[in-house]
C-alpha cells in the first residue's frame, strides 16, 4: 500500500470557499465604515454646535430693529450674527415687556451667533426672504447639501447593518455546532467532498495489492461507461465492501477508484452519522445520498461502517434507537437507486462478522473484497514507494527489508521507515543504513528501551527466563525461528525473546501448536529448573497459553476426550445481550470436562518444556551466562555459542536455502508477535 500523497488542495474542495474565510475582512470593513461616517458627519457641520437656537419671532424682531447681519438661508435653517447684544424679553400679565433674568438676577442674552430651524418647502423661507428684503438686509441662499442627506441616510441605516452582521456571525457559528445548524443544520451531512481533478489518487499510487486492484478495475469501468453494461441488461453494482485488518489501504483504494474513474468522492465515517438527537443520523444519510445522486456518477465512501451497521436487535435496548434508524435509512437509500443514478457505495471495515445481514445481501453490497496483508512481492513494492524521499546507504537491501517484514501492513512499513529515518537523523547521519532499519524494527515490535536497569538478582532470573524461551525456540521445529533475545527492559517487559517466521502462514497443525505451548511455558520451566521455585513474571505466558489451549479444545477439536465438537463460549460473541434469552448448548459436566482437558494439555506442555531444558541444561547455562554479560544476543551469536538451530539444520538437509545466519532482517510473523514478559 502506498502512502497517500499530501495534497492540501484536497482539504478545500473546488468552488467551495473555506468556511468563515471572508468573515474577519468583512467585519473590519464594517467597523471602518462606521468610523468614517461618524468622522465625516462631525467634520461636515463644525459650526452647528457653536450657534444658539432662537425662535423665528425673535429673529423677525431683530431684523426689524436692523440688528442682523451675515444671514444665510437654506432649506433646513437660517443662520446669522447679531450686530449688538440683545437681552431676552418676556411679556407680563399686565401686557408690559420686561427683560428676562436668570437665577442670579442677571439678564439673559441671545447668542451672538444664532440659528433658526425651518422645514424645507415651508412658507417661512419665503416670508424670511421678503422680510430681509424689506429691511434692506443682505442675505445668501444656500442649496441643500445632498451628500449630507446621503450620509444621514447611511447613519440611519447603520444600526440595521450592524444587526445583520451580528445575525450572520451567529448563524455561521450555529452551523458549526455538531456538524450542522442548531436545528436545520443537524440534518446536513458531514461528508467531505474530494474533487477527482485535484491531484487524483490512482491505482499507480497503491502498491502491493495487485489482486484487489484487478477486482476493483471493473467498478472503475462501471463508473466510466455505465451504459456499456446497461446495454446488455446489467446494472451498476450498488456497493463494494472492503474487508481487511487496519492499515492495509482500504481508504486509499476507495479514493483510487474515484481517481481512476474521475468522479466526485464523498468520504464520511460511520460514527459521524450518530448524534444526540433522534433522527439526526437518518437525516444526514438522506442528505448525503441526495448530494451524491445530484452529482452522479459519484462514490460514497463510508469508513468503519461497523459503527453504524451492526446487527439490529442484538443489544439490551429496544429496536428504536438512533443507530438502528440510521442503518435502516442506509439500507433504504442503497436499495432505492435507479439505473440512471450511477452512485456506488464503498464501505470499509475490519469487523465484517458484526454487520447486519441486510447490508451484505445482493442489491446492497454486491461485492465483498478482502484487502489482506501484502505478500513478499507487495511488501517490496511498498518499500520502494515509501523510500523514494529517503536517502539510503549502499548496504540497504529492499529484498531483505521485504523478507524481514512478513505480516506487516502498508501502514506498518511506513512507520518502520519513518522510525529508521528519525533514528538516523538523531545520529547525525546523512543516509539511512541497514542498522537503522533494524533498530526501528526492534523498537516497533519489542518496544522502546527503558532507562532503569535490573539489579543483579533480577537480571539473572530474567536471563534464565528468556534463555528458556530462546532455547526451546532453538530446539523445537514447530516454533518460529529465533531472531533475538534480550534482558534489557523494553516497553512493559523485563525481557523479550523475539521469534520470526520464514513466510506468511495461513494454517497451523496440532504438533506445531504443542511446540508453541512448550515455548511459551519455557521461561517458567527454566526458573523452576534453576531456582526450584516460580515467580510472577510468567503471568503473561500463562494467559497466552491458556487462551491458545482453550481454542484448541473448544473450537479446533484437538482433544481426544472432547472430540470433534465446537463449544463456542457466549462471552466471545461481540453483541451484548444476544445470549441472554438462549440456553447454553452444553451441560455443566461438559464444561468441567473442558476445564480438565485444558489443564491436562497445559500440564503436559509445561512438563515437556522442563524435560527439554533439563536434557540441554548445559546450553541453558551457557545462554544465561552470555545474556547476563551482553544483555542481548542475536541468532548469529547463539549459533556460535551452542551450534545451529533445528530450523537451520532442516533447511540445510532439505537444500531449500543454504544455511546462513544473519544479523539482518529475517522473516516477521503475521501479525508480528514478540514474546514479552509482563512486569
pLDDT at 386 over 80: yes
Annotated binding residue at 581?
no
Please, what's the b/e burial string for 102-141 (b: 16 or more CB within 10 A of its CB; e: otherwise)?
A: eeeeeeeebeeebbbebeeeeebbeebeebbeeeebebee
Annotated binding residue at 469?
yes
Annotated binding residue at 624?
no
- Is pLDDT larger for residue 32 or for residue 607? 607
| Cell 503475521, located at residue | 670
- Is pLDDT larger for residue 514 or for residue 120? 514
Highest mean pLDDT among 48-52, 194-198, 246-250, 519-523: 519-523
Annotated binding residue at 465?
yes
**For 178-211, what is each residue's pLDDT tens digit?**
444 444 444 455 555 655 445 667 788 788 788 8
**For 605-659, what is each residue's pLDDT tens digit?**
999 999 999 999 999 999 999 988 888 888 888 888 888 888 878 777 665 444 4
Annotated binding residue at 541?
yes
pLDDT at 83: 80
pLDDT at 361 over 50: yes
pLDDT at 31: 63
CA dihedral 59, 64, 66, 68 (to 10 degrees): 20
Q: Does CATH number 1.20.58.760 belong to domain 450-678?
A: yes
**For 207-242, what is each residue's pLDDT tens digit?**
878 888 888 888 888 877 777 777 777 777 778 889
Residues taking part in catalysis: 466
Map out the domains of the chain as residue ranges.
51-144, 187-370, 376-445, 450-678
pLDDT at 338: 52
The CA distance from 474 to 623, in Å, is: 11
Average pLDDT over residues 444-463: 77
* Burial of 552: CB neighbours in 10 Å, binned 0-12, 13-18, 19+: buried
pLDDT at 317 over 60: no
**For 274-304, what is each residue's pLDDT tens digit?**
654 555 667 777 778 888 888 878 888 888 8
**Residue 28 backbone class (left: φ over 0; alpha: ψ -120 to 50; beta: rest):** alpha
Q: Which residues face 97 on adjacent strands? A: 91
pLDDT at 340 over 60: no
DSSP 141: E
Average pLDDT over residues 490-494: 76
Annotated binding residue at 79?
no
Annotated binding residue at 250?
yes
Which CATH architecture fits 187-370? 3-Layer(aba) Sandwich (3.40)
DSSP 355: B
SS3 318: coil
Annotated binding residue at 377?
no
Return the CATH class of domain 376-445.
Answer: mainly alpha
pLDDT at 384 over 80: yes
Average pLDDT over residues 36-65: 67
pLDDT at 319: 46
Report the Cα 644 to chain-centroid distance in Å.
Answer: 48
Distance in angstroms between the alpha carbons of the first and the last residue of the chain: 36
**CATH (one of 3.30.70.260, 3.30.720.210, 3.40.470.10, 3.40.640.10) for 51-144:** 3.30.720.210
Share the mean pLDDT of the chain.
75
Measured CA to CA in angstroms, residue 44 lies from 33, 73, 436 at distances of 16, 17, 77
The CA distance from 328 to 224, in Å, is: 30
Residue count of the chain: 679
- Is pLDDT larger for residue 452 or for residue 291? 291
Amino acid at each position: 500500500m502506498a502512502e497517500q500523497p499530501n495534497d492540501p488542495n484536497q482539504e478545500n474542495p473546488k468552488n467551495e470557499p473555506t468556511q468563515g474565510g471572508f468573515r474577519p475582512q468583512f467585519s473590519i470593513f464594517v467597523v471602518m465604515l462606521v468610523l468614517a461616517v461618524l468622522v465625516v458627519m462631525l467634520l461636515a457641520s463644525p459650526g452647528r454646535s457653536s450657534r444658539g437656537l432662537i425662535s423665528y419671532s425673535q429673529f423677525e424682531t431683530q431684523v426689524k430693529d436692523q440688528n442682523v447681519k451675515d444671514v444665510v438661508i437654506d432649506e433646513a435653517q437660517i443662520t446669522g450674527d447679531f450686530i449688538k447684544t440683545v437681552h431676552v424679553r418676556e411679556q407680563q400679565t399686565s401686557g408690559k415687556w420686561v427683560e428676562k433674568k436668570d437665577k442670579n438676577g442677571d439678564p439673559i442674552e441671545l447668542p451672538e451667533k444664532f440659528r433658526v430651524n425651518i422645514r424645507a418647502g415651508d412658507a417661512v423661507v419665503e416670508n424670511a426672504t421678503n422680510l430681509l428684503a424689506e429691511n434692506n438686509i443682505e442675505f445668501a441662499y444656500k442649496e441643500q447639501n445632498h451628500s449630507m442627506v446621503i450620509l444621514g441616510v447611511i447613519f440611519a441605516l447603520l444600526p440595521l447593518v450592524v444587526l445583520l452582521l451580528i445575525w450572520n456571525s451567529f448563524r455561521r457559528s450555529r452551523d458549526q455546532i455538531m456538524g450542522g445548524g442548531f436545528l436545520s443544520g443537524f440534518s446536513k451531512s458531514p461528508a467531505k467532498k474530494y474533487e477527482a481533478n485535484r491531484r487524483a489518487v490512482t491505482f499507480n499510487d497503491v502498491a502491493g495489492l495487485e489482486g484487489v486492484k484487478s477486482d476493483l478495475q471493473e467498478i472503475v469501468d462501471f463508473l466510466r461507461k455505465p451504459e456499456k453494461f446497461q446495454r446488455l441488461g446489467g446494472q451498476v453494482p450498488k456497493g463494494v465492501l472492503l474487508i481487511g485488518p487496519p492499515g492495509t489501504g482500504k481508504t486509499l483504494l476507495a479514493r483510487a477508484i474515484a481517481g481512476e474513474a474521475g468522479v466526485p468522492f464523498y468520504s464520511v465515517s460511520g460514527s459521524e452519522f450518530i448524534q444526540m438527537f433522534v433522527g439526526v443520523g437518518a437525516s444526514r444519510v438522506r442528505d448525503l445520498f441526495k448530494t451524491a445522486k445530484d452529482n452522479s456518477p459519484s462514490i460514497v465512501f463510508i469508513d468503519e461502517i461497523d459503527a453504524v451497521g451492526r446487527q439490529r436487535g442484538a443489544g439490551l435496548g429496544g429496536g428504536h434507537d438512533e443507530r438502528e434508524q440510521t442503518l435502516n435509512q442506509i439500507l433504504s437509500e442503497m436499495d432505492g437507486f435507479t439505473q440512471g443514478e450511477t452512485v456506488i457505495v464503498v464501505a470499509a471495515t475490519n469487523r465484517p462478522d458484526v454487520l447486519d445481514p441486510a447490508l451484505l445481501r445482493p442489491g446492497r453490497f454486491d461485492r465483498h473484497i478482502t484487502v489482506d496483508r501484502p505478500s513478499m512481492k507487495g511488501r517490496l513494492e511498498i518499500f520502494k514507494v515509501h523510500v523514494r524521499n529517503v536517502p539510503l546507504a549502499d548496504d540497504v537491501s529492499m529484498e531483505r527489508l521485504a523478507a524481514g517484514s512478513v505480516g506487516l501492513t502498508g501502514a506498518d512499513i511506513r512507520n518502520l521507515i519513518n522510525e529508521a529515518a528519525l533514528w538516523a537523523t538523531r545520529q547525525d547521519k546523512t543516509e539511512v543504513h541497514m542498522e537503522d532499519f533494524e533498530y526501528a524494527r526492534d523498537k516497533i515490535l519489542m518496544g522502546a528501551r527503558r532507562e532503569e536497569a535490573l539489579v543483579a538478582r533480577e537480571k539473572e532470573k530474567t536471563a534464565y527466563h528468556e534463555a528458556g524461551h530462546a532455547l526451546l525456540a532453538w530446539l523445537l521445529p514447530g516454533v518460529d525461528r529465533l531472531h533475538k533475545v534480550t534482558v534489557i527492559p523494553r516497553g512493559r517487559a523485563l525481557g523479550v525473546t523475539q521469534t520470526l517466521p520464514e513466510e506468511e502462514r495461513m494454517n497451523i497443525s496440532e504438533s506445531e501448536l504443542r511446540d508453541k505451548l512448550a515455548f511459551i511455558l519455557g521461561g517458567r520451566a527454566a526458573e523452576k529448573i534453576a531456582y526450584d521455585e516460580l515467580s510472577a513474571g510468567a503471568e503473561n505466558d500463562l494467559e497466552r497459553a491458556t487462551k491458545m489451549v482453550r481454542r484448541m479444545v473448544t473450537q479446533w477439536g484437538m482433544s481426544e476426550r472432547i472430540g470433534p465438537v465446537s463449544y463456542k463460549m457466549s462471552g466471545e460473541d461481540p453483541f451484548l445481550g444476544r445470549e441472554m434469552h438462549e440456553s447454553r448448548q452444553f451441560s455443566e459436566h461438559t464444561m468441567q470436562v473442558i476445564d480438565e482437558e485444558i489443564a491436562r494439555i497445559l500440564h503436559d506442555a509445561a512438563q515437556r518444556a522442563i524435560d527439554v531444558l533439563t536434557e540441554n541444561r548445559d546450553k541453558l547455562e551457557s545462554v544465561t551466562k552470555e545474556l547476563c554479560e551482553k544483555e542481548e544476543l542475536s541468532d548469529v551469536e547463539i549459533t556460535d555459542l551452542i551450534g545451529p538451530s533445528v530450523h537451520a539444520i532442516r533447511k540445510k538437509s532439505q537444500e531449500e536455502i543454504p544455511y546462513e545466519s544473519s544479523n539482518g532482517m529475517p522473516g516477521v510473523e503475521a501479525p508480528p508477535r514478540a514474546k514479552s514478559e509482563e512486569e
